[in-house]
Amino acid sequence: VTRAGLTQPIVVNLQGDAPLTPPHFVSALIAAMRDDDTRQVATPVLRCDREALDNFLADRKAGRVGATTVVRDMQGNAIY
């Protein structure tokens, strides 16, 4: 960001494999960053419903991996 000469207070970086990220994800991410100026990095995440979790676990059991997951602490901070 510094080398590029960017001076905006918030920079949003979307990964190349996420071209279909819904605009409301980006809007919510920016709002969260604006609401707390101590945040330096933020990542949008979704809570899985039971069906999505079951499908995720079934895929893993079958050796199909590739889903991105996040583990957070009780305050919502990413652990990994």
pLDDT at 54: 94
- Backbone φ and ψ of 61, nearest 5°: -65, -35
Question: 54 and 17, same structural domain?
Answer: no
User: Structural domain of residue 1, as residue ranges?
Assistant: 1-44
| Token pair recorded at residue 41 | 């990095």
pLDDT digits (tens, 9 = 90+) for 2-38: 898 888 888 888 887 777 888 998 999 999 899 988 8
The strand pairing partners of 78, in sequence order, are 72
Question: 53 and 34, same structural domain?
Answer: no
pLDDT at 31: 93
Residues 6 or more apart from 43 whose CB is under 8 A from it? Answer: 29, 70, 78
Task: Report the SS3 class of residue 41.
Answer: coil
Instruction: Specify the number of domains making up the chain.
Output: 2
Question: 37 and 64, same structural domain?
Answer: no
Question: 51 and 33, same structural domain?
Answer: no
